[in-house]
Amino acid sequence: MPQQSVIFFDIDGTLLNQEKKLPHSAKKAIYKIKEQGHIAAIATGRAPFMFEDLRKELGIDTFVSYNGQYVILNGEVIFKNPLNLQSLEQLTAHALDHQHPVVFMDHEDMKANVPEHAYIKESIEMLKIKQFPRYDPEYYKGRELFQMLLFCPEGEEKQYEQAFPDFDFIRWHPLSVDVLPKGGSKAAGIGKIVEKLGFPEERLYAFGDGLNDIKMLSAVKNSIAMGNAEEKVKAAAKFVTKSVDEKGIYYGLQMVGLL
């Protein structure tokens, strides 16, 4: 048996295609590396409740969620990095003044601070998930929140970047931005898992395609960008595989010698 490695997979645009479907080739490849004794893990910007079905389908119990803010190893929480509550309240007030809705997110659910909004509907529907944020403007009180969604057109997040230095803002949709604790990233979350496992960098792998994968692909020694990734994402990776719909996971694992 080869030495055990851990392979982190992004979800949207990496494991799942544009229709949010898992290609059979990707599922088969992941089961194959697990049979060989490797650890298949997920590294995503999604909340844990947004990919529970996928984890069950692939038999995965190790993951980095919320772009590194909530980390699970073998089914156990090993790291949490919640948003600063005072800054969160200030940002929410600022967003309301500018007619930009927000969604509060913890590890179990998400709630909107407005009853309904076209930006929220369009963005969340694109994810093709079961959950939709219901209205609860006080959901943040007494909770640890690991991410907020700020809904605004492209470019309008600049005012928030300047006004709220406690946070990082990462756009994932033309109408929506992830709001994270400053310095939080998938790379940092992966680091928490690697600390526990004690694996050398030569046995770490990561697949991704999005802007929120750049730090991860830059930090992980054996990094693979999907063929459907933007050029700046590909530039951050050591390897580039085919697109998600062209058996990109399968070919990428072959490329690095894991299949």
**Which of 84, 119, 83, 85 minimizes the C-alpha distance to 99?**
119
**Residue 239 is which amino acid?**
F
Contact 150, 114 (CB under 8 A): no
Handedness of CA 79, 167, 102, 125 (dihedral sign): negative
Question: In this structure, what DSSP letter does residue 84 have?
Answer: P
Residues pairing with 170 in the sheet: 178
- Annotated catalytic sites, by residue? 10
Neighbours of 170 (CB within 10 A): 19
Q: At what angle do helices 248-255 and 24-35 cross, to 10 degrees?
A: 40
What is the distance between the alpha carbons of residues 131 and 125, in angstroms, rounded to a whole number? Answer: 9
Q: Token pair of 215, please?
A: 């730090």
Residues 245, 248, 249, 251, CA torsion sign: positive
DSSP track, 36-79: TTPEEEEE-SS-GGGSHHHHHHHT---EEEGGGTEEEETTEEEE
Work out the number of other CB atoms within 10 angstroms of the CB of residue 180: 24
CB 33 within 8 A of CB 254: no
